[in-house]
Amino acid sequence: MLLFNDKKILIQAKSYSKLGKDSKALEKLETGLNTLFLGAQKNEIERLIYTTNFPNPIGGTTSQHHIFIGDGIIERTFNEIPANYKKKVVKIIEELSEKYNKKYNTDILNISVINFDGDDYETRYRTILRIIREFLSNISVNPVYSKTLLEIWQSEFLFNATTSNVSIDLTKNQVIWPIIVINSQLLEDDKNFEKLIDEFQMDEEEIETVLYKYTTFIDKQSEKFSFVMKVNSDYEIYRKNKIGNRRRIKSFINDKWTDYIYLVNTDKIEEEVKQVIVKIILFKILNLKTMVKNLKKEVNLEI
């Protein structure tokens, strides 16, 4: 994870399917720390995080892992873990230091445990889904979309660990854009769309064209986030000059839609259909203005 100060947070995750057996915990930790410290040699590091689903991430007796017991994600700094745990970690770090001929700072090392087990989907992803639900609530989005959002992220952003291409970069825009897509779906029974269909007496072919063009615009287009912010900014300027107008969104769209005709100007379709496409895009974006504002604040997004 690249931070604004150009430092990085490196996270190494190791999962284990047979929970309850300590035999692999220390081995997984050694492998994970080795990967983290290899990465630390090539980057300026803010923090190193080793995370696992194993409730006893450093091995040992059950009584020793009480600091990792809890609901959700439990993260501890190196200084917070018990002395007997520290000895095991220090031993691994000393071996790595000798192997790579470099000293490592344990002050930037954190160890975390996430509840992630079970064959049932809801059980296995319970912690992740809960965090997504909380996040969606914070940005004024219905938490019912949490599972859909997780499935989209898994489909688009989780890559096979055996892939030879390890230089896959994701921007914050790419990660959050599916939230816009989920909340911007266009159906024929959309009230604003129905009004435009009636106004322009659109036939079935024209309706299909609008649905297709709109979906093409909104789906998987993370670079469009700057456009979303521009529309919201343009509307705020317009709104301030229209005090007392209760239908400011509708007025803005009717007055300003031609400013955005470039979105579809290259398409060989009827002018009236172009107008409908642009107006629907503006309707959808402006109906999400509160959510977009909250989203930008919640994820500290810089456009």
Give me the half-sphere count of Cα atoms (radius 13 Å) on the Cβ side of residue 54. 26
For the cut 60, the answer to whether the pLDDT of residue 19 exceeds it is no
For the cut 80, the answer to whether the pLDDT of residue 237 exceeds it is yes
Report residue 220 CA to chain centroid gap. Answer: 13
One-letter identity of residue 44: E
- Coil, strand or helix at 10: strand
Q: What pLDDT was estimated at residue 234?
A: 93
pLDDT in tens, 276-296: 999 999 998 898 888 888 888
Determine what percent of the chain is predicted with pLDDT higher than 90.
Answer: 21
Tokens coding 251: 């007025």
Tally the residues of the chain: 303
Cβ neighbours of 285 (radius 10 Å):
23
For the cut 90, the answer to whether the pLDDT of residue 258 exceeds it is yes
Kindly report the pTM of this predicted structure: 0.78
CB 253 within 8 A of CB 283: yes
Q: What pLDDT was estimated at residue 137?
A: 93
Average pLDDT over residues 155-171: 61
HEC secondary structure over 250-277: HHHHHHHHHHHHHHCCCCCCCHHHHHHH
pLDDT in tens, 103-149: 888 889 999 998 887 778 888 888 999 999 999 999 989 999 999 99
Q: What pLDDT was estimated at residue 259?
A: 95
For the cut 80, the answer to whether the pLDDT of residue 63 exceeds it is no
Q: How far apart are the first and last CA of the chain?
A: 18
Strand order in the sheet with 45-52: 8-14, 45-52, 109-114, 73-77
One-letter identity of residue 221: Q
Tokens coding 217: 């615009």
Q: What pLDDT was estimated at residue 77?
A: 92
For the cut 80, the answer to whether the pLDDT of residue 161 exceeds it is no
Average pLDDT, the chain: 83
Residue 159: pLDDT band (50, 70, 90) is: low
Give me the half-sphere count of Cα atoms (radius 13 Å) on the Cβ side of residue 85. 23
